[in-house]
Structure 1
Amino acid sequence: MKIVIDEEKCVAAGQCVGAAGEVFDQRDEDGIVVLLNPSPPAELADDVRRAAAVCPALAIVIEE
């Protein structure tokens, strides 16, 4: 699993952090998503998929 973030689409809603805080964070200055781990371990796959699904801007792309 590889994660790609489109920062231009991100609306700083923070849903990704709530779903997968081990993989996503937000910048302090504007709340835009920060990818902590672009290739997370398999045990986080469900959380990452949930984060992508709840992103209101569809800024998270998962490459399997």
Structure 2
Amino acid sequence: MDAVTFGKAGLTGWRVRVADAVAGPVSRRTSVSDEQVRAAIGALFLVLSVVYVAKAAKDLATHG
């Protein structure tokens, strides 16, 4: 699995629209392709989701 495929795993629903809206302007101002920008945004959303679930599990284990 390459980095772009990994990053796209985090893009579902409204996150796709956010990535699509940001990818064009960012890629025009940098040397990064649209696909790489979308992948980076997707990876960020994926990491944030994992952190959120991990925190919720920790809270449940300590307070539940």
TM-score (norm 2): 0.30
Q: Larger relative CO (CA 8 A, sep 6+): 1 or 2?
A: 1
Of Structure 1 and Structure 2, the greater strand share is in 1
Pick the structure with greater CA Rg. Answer: 2
Of Structure 1 and Structure 2, the greater helix share is in 2
TM-score (norm 1): 0.30
